[in-house]
Amino acid sequence: MGVNFSLQGKVALVTGGAYGIGFAMAKGFAEAGAKVAFNCRSKEHMEKALEDYRKEGIEAKGYLCDVTVEAEVQKMVEDIEKDLGTIDILVNNAGIIKRIPMCEMKVEEFRQVIDIDLNAPFIVSKAVIPGMIRKGHGKIINICSMMSELGRETVSAYAAAKGGLKMLTKNIASEYGEYNIQCNGIGPGYIATPQTAPLREIQPDGSRHPFDQFIVSKTPQARWGTPEDLMGPAVFLASDASDFVNGHILYVDGGILAYIGKQP
């Protein structure tokens, strides 16, 4: 029996799949045969995304939905089930970051990051799992982060959320493995998307951003990741090929977590 990486006939929901990492993973799923659904909050982002998917030859279905609002999520899942069928693959990708020194961060700012990056994966998973149980299988992929393992200045809320998301991943794997649902995480390293654009801005003197230089020096592969670097790992964790992988966080980081850094 050959290894099966195909997603033929599967229904995949990628939250926040309008652009960035989510868009790339959804493209990978479509190329592997899946029917793709995605959501975002902005009508403008939605319309641009549908055009971008069409340019890739993908008839993705887009849903305007704020993943922090349970009623919106439940309606979206019902609509996807009517339009495409029961969801086989869920990627909790939608997320934000706020880079503010902790003691300067307002409580509502901290809460907003936790709400989107941690509470929402709970809300969406809770809405999708019953259908997976009925179907007898399911794949949940939570997009964690290097900040599920490490901290750094100004990202306290984000690191707390992504650390929690790592443990939510392990707990879903523990609680629903008996229903043939595998729940794993992907921990991207530093990826060139709109979320990290401020860290890569060219300086007034034309030099690269100091953080850009720092990350490249800390990455054995000496480059930022691209959203496309996440496509293969996502297809693997969404496919039958990973049916006995459960509760695992797959870091796709060019080796940065393994590397102490070059001696100056």
Based on the shown chain and the rule CB under 6 A, indicate whether residue 22 belongs to the binding site for ligand NAP. yes
CA-based end-to-end distance of the chain: 51
Q: Are 1 and 237 in contact (CB under 8 A)?
A: no
**Per-position x/- string for 108-147, each x denoting binding to ligand NAP as judged by CB under 6 A, each - no binding:** --------x--------------------------x-x--
- Identify the residue among 36, 58, 97, 132 touching ligand GCO (CB under 6 A): 97
Q: What angle do CA 212, 213, 214 make, to 5 degrees?
A: 90
Closest CA to 12 of 72, 69, 58: 58
CA angle 188, 189, 190 (to 5 degrees): 120
DSSP assigned state of 240: G
Among 6, 31, 45, 240, indicate the residue that binds ligand NAP (CB under 6 A): 45
CA 213/CA 150 separation, integer angstroms: 19
What SS3 class is residue 136?
A: coil
CB of 157 to ligand NAP, least distance (A): 11
Using CB under 6 A as the binding rule, the residues of this chain from 147 to 186 that contact ligand GCO are 147, 152, 155, 158
Q: How far is Cα 215 from Cα 213, in angstroms, rounded to an integer?
A: 6
Pick what 254 binds: ligand GCO, ligand NAP, none; C-beta below 5 to 8 Å, kind-dependent. none
The residue (of 133 and 192) whose beta carbon lies closer to ligand GCO is 192
Can you tell me which residue has the tokens 């939605």? 46
68 interacts with ligand NAP by CB under 6 A: yes
Question: Which amino acids are annotated catalytic?
Answer: 158
Contact status: 196 vs ligand GCO (CB under 6 A): yes
Binding site for ligand NAP (CB under 6 A): 15-16, 18-22, 39-42, 45, 66-68, 93-96, 116, 143, 145, 188, 190-191, 193-196
